[in-house]
Amino acid sequence: MSGAKELIREIWSTMEDTARHNKKTALIAVGAIALVVAVLSFYISTASKEHGEERGKEAAHREDEHKEGEHGEETVVHLSKEAQKASGVEVMAAALEPFSAPIEATAAIELDGDRIAKISARTSGRLVRIAASQGDAVKTGQALAWFDSPELGQALAEYAKSKGRADLARKNLEREETLFSKKISPEKDVIRARQELAEAGADLAFARERFHLLGIDIDQYEKKHEGDQHPLIAVTSPISGSVIERTATQGEVVSPEKPLFTVADLSKLWVIIDIYEKDLGRIKSGTAVKVSTTAYADKSFRGFISYLGEVMDEKTRTVKARVEVENANRLLKPGMFATVTIDAKGAQMEKAIMLPEEAVFLDGSRNYVFIQTAPEKFEMREITAGRTLGKRLEVIGGIKKGESVAVKGAFILKSELKKGELVDEHGHGK
């Protein structure tokens, strides 16, 4: 600026000077000065532009270098240590980890079908006495109730009758044999008497058998009560367990079709789970499972698959599987809903490279990760993702064991990469 001012001043003074002398010189001088000014200003302005272009060229040159280093592909990001730390980039070596993808299935807890007894009266009659109520623990053979049955009276009568007949037949046989040995009567009569005894014996055995069916030991009974009134019939439990249901009421008329008690052994329960088609391949009989319920959120119960259904339910497209679970302290209640976690690893220990979801990013429809190739250099690498396991992802291909993968901050690296596509990182264009 000041230079320009001086220039103007100079022009003025020169003009005045020359003007005093003559016209021609003045003209020439003025022309010359104007020319000088023109040339100067042109130079100044072009110089500044050239400088700019030079800088541009320099940048372009550097960019070329930059590109060469990357074989023309924008897959490498440089990020200083500080920047890595500031933006939370973390690196971990890829390692093989046991792959275990537990299957979760919804389930319903049921009674163990092998440990349940529905108890009803052996015959019809009237309940006289009830000895057990809901919740009682019972042992095998324990009487739960007694009832009076007209059938028993009938049986007793039949028994007495057939017993008398049998006695008569035996006596008759004895007599006929004596008569035959004395050759008084023909052998035919002995045979007939023997026949009659056999028939009467069979009748008696039949009559005794009826007692057995009614659950009464007739011999004992006969010992105790010599022909008094007829006895009560007991309803007994065939298994040990607890009475989980009682429908019997005193004085009720009972019949064999109507269950009076349900006794179940709750120390073991069944958990029925629905297995989806996709998981079938990973499950077999004997696989250990964990059962959890909403009731005991912090507790889980161990069990194993005891049976895998043979038929697929057409409606639900699932196969039923049965899990046996110990229920020693009776926490699980039949009817509860539960979640069964099947640890499928038990079968074959698979190993795979697992990465956190955060480490893998999408570009288009492909998956990539960043591999640290030098302390401040990251390379983008395509991977093939396998199954997901919670928030971790199985990597099938693309990285090898031991390579350093950016497990955190992949997003930042991707951003930097994308920015690099736009703007050369050394360029002053940003």
Partner 1 sequence: MLERIIEYTLKQKGMVIFLSLLIVVIGLYSYWKLPIDAFPDVTNIQVEVVSHADGLSAIEIERNVTYPIEMAMRGLPDIEQMRSVTKFGLSIVTVVFKDNVDIYFARQLVFERLAEAREKVPKGVEVAMGPIGTAMGEIYQYTLEGNMPNDPAQKITYLTNLRTIQEWIITPQLKSVAGVNEINSFGGYFKQYQVVVFPEKLLKYGITVDDVYSAIGNNNENVGGNLLERGADQFIVRGVGLIKDVKDIENIVLKSAGGTPTSIRDVAQVKIGEAVRMGAAIKNGKDECVGGIVMMLRGENSRDVVRRVAEKVREINENNVLPEGIRIVPYYDRSDIVKASVSTVNKALIEGSLLVLIVLYLLLNSIRGSIVVLIALPLSLLATFIVMKLAGISANLMSLGGLAISIGMIIDTAIIQVENVQRHLSDEGAQHPKLYTVLRAVMEVRKPSIYGELIIALTFIPILSLEGIEGKMFGPLAITVAIALLASLFLSVLVIPALCILFLKPHPEKESYIMRHANRLYLPLLDYAMNRKRVVLGVAGAFLVVSLFLATRLGTEFIPIMDEGAFDMDVSMLPGVSLAKAMEVNQHAAAKLKEFPELETVVGRIGQTGVALDTRGTDKTGYVGIFKPKSEWKRDISKEKLTNEMRESLESIAGITFGFSQPIQCRIDELVAGTRAQLIVKLFGEDINVLSERSAKIAKVLSTIKGGTDLNAEKVSGQPYLTVNIDRSKIARYGLNISDVQKVIEIAVAGKAASQLYEENRNFPIAVRLPEEKRNSLEAIKNLMITTKTGTNIPLEHLAEVKMIEGPVQISRQDGMRRIGIEMNITGRDIGSFVAEAKQKIGAQVKLPAGYYLTWGGQFENQQRAMNKLMIIGPAAVGLIMLLLYLSFRSVSLSLLVISNLPFALIGGVFALYLSGQYLSVPASVGFIVLFGVAVLNGLVLVSRISQLREEGLDLQEAIRKGSLDRLRPVLMTASISIFSLLPMLLAGGAGSEIQKPLATVVVGGLFTSTLLTLLIIPSVYSWFEKRQVEAEM
Interface pick for partner 1 out of 71, 72, 228, 294 (rule CB under 8 A): 294
Options 171-179, 201-209, 239-247, 415-423: segment touching partner 1 (CB under 8 A): 415-423
Give dist(CA 123, CA 331) in Å, integer: 37
User: Which of 249, 242, 211, 270 lies closest to 129, judged by CA?
Assistant: 249
Q: Which is nearer to partner 1, 210 or 290 (CB)?
A: 290
Contacts to partner 1 from residues 114-173, by CB under 8 A:
none
339 near partner 1, judged by CB under 8 A:
yes
Give dist(CA 51, CA 53) in Å, integer: 5
In the chain, % helix, strand, coil (3-state, to 5) comes to 40, 35, 30
Q: Which is nearer to partner 1, 232 or 413 (CB)?
A: 413
276 near partner 1, judged by CB under 8 A:
yes
Interface pick for partner 1 out of 281, 315, 328, 348 (rule CB under 8 A): 315
Q: Which is nearer to partner 1, 132 or 412 (CB)?
A: 412
Residue 45: CB minimum distance to partner 1, A: 4
Q: Show the tokens assigned to 344.
A: 């499928």
Contacts to partner 1 from residues 350-369, by CB under 8 A:
357, 362-365
CA dihedral 227, 228, 229, 235 (to 10 degrees): -70
The vertex-21 CA angle with 15 and 24, nearest 5°, equals 75
Options 223-231, 244-252, 311-319, 398-406: segment touching partner 1 (CB under 8 A): 311-319
User: If residue 37 lies in a helix (H) or strand (E), which one and from where to where?
Assistant: helix 23-69
Give dist(CA 273, CA 105) in Å, integer: 6
Give dist(CA 121, CA 117) in Å, integer: 13
280 near partner 1, judged by CB under 8 A:
no
Contact at 8 Å (CB) between 125 and 150?
yes
63 near partner 1, judged by CB under 8 A:
yes
Q: Which is nearer to partner 1, 113 or 335 (CB)?
A: 335
55 near partner 1, judged by CB under 8 A:
yes
Q: Which is nearer to partner 1, 143 or 272 (CB)?
A: 272
79 near partner 1, judged by CB under 8 A:
yes
User: Which of 339, 266, 396, 309 lies closest to 102, judged by CA?
Assistant: 339
Give dist(CA 210, CA 232) in Å, integer: 14
Distances (CA, A) of 182 to 41, 186, 337: 172, 10, 85
Residue 82: CB minimum distance to partner 1, A: 8
Binding residues vs partner 1 (CB under 8 A):
1, 4, 11, 15, 19, 23, 26-27, 30-31, 33-34, 37-38, 41-42, 45, 49, 52, 55-56, 59-60, 63, 79, 82-84, 86-89, 104, 106, 276, 278, 294, 315-317, 337, 339, 357, 362-365, 388, 390-391, 411-416, 418-419, 421-424, 427-430
